[in-house]
Amino acid sequence: MEPLSALGLLGLTGYGMYRAANWAARQSRLRTARQNANVVDDLRTQHARLRSQREHAQQSQQYRQMQLAMLHLDQEPDPDFRRAASAARAARGVAANLRQRQYGRLRPMLVQHYRRCRSRGTAAEILLESLVELVEALGMPEYEADYIRQEAERTQQTRPTASPVDSVQEFQQRLSQAQQEHEQRIQAIRTLSGLNDDTRAQLLEAEEQRYQSRLFGGRDS
C-alpha cells in the first residue's frame, strides 16, 4: 500500500503544480493584456492631442490669412472684396462666432473700402456681389452687405476722399504687436531646455489659447 500512497501523493503534487502553473500563466496573460491596453490608451491620447494641435494650428493659420487679406483692403488698391472673400471662405473651419467678431471689428474698413472702390469707378453691382460673398463667408447674413453699401453711399458726399479709420489703425497695430509677441513666446517654448514633450506641448497649446484670447477678446495676459 505504501507504493500506492506514494503514487497518490505524487499525483496530487503534480496536479497542484499544474494548477499553480496555469494560474501563474493566466495572471501573466492578464498583466500583459492590461499593459497592452494601457499602451493603446496612451497612444490614442497622444494621437488625439496631436490631432487637436494640428487642427488648432490649421485654424489659427486660416484665421491669420483671413485677417491679412482683410487688412490688405486698407493697404492696397483692391478693386473689390474678392480677395478677402476668398480668404474668408478658406477659413470656414474657424468657429463662426470668431469670424463674426472679426466682421464687427473691421466693419468700418469695409465701409471705407466700398466707398473708395466706388470713387475709383468699380461698378456697384460687381462691388456689392463680392461684398455679399465676404459677409456670408464671415458668418453674417446677406443683408449686412446692403447695410454697408447704404452707409458708404450716405457718407460719400461728406467724405469724398477716404481717410484712415482710427479704430482700424488701432486694430492693425494691436494685431501686429500680438503676432510678434506670440511668435517670440512660441520660439521661447520650443527652445527651452529641460522640458519633456508633454509639458512642451501643453505650454504651446496654452500659448495658442492666450493668443486667440487676446485677438478675440481684446485682453492681454
Q: Which residues of 119-139 are buried (b: 16+ CB within 10 A; e: fewer)?
A: eeebeeeebbebbbbbbbbbb
For residues 46 and 164, give the distance between their C-alpha atoms in angstroms, rounded to a whole number.
Answer: 48
By C-alpha distance, which of 120, 106, 119 is closest to 74?
106
> Where are any strands of DSSP class E within 82-131?
none
Domain ranges of the chain: 58-163, 166-221
For residues 115 and 171, give the distance between their C-alpha atoms in angstroms, rounded to a whole number.
Answer: 20
Is the whole model's pTM more than 0.95, yes or no? no
Digit-by-digit pLDDT tens for the chain (221 residues) are 555 555 555 555 666 676 777 787 888 888 888 888 777 777 777 777 777 677 667 767 777 777 767 777 766 567 889 988 888 888 888 888 888 888 888 899 899 899 989 988 889 999 999 999 999 999 999 999 999 999 999 886 655 444 555 566 777 777 788 888 888 888 888 888 887 888 888 888 888 878 777 766 544 44
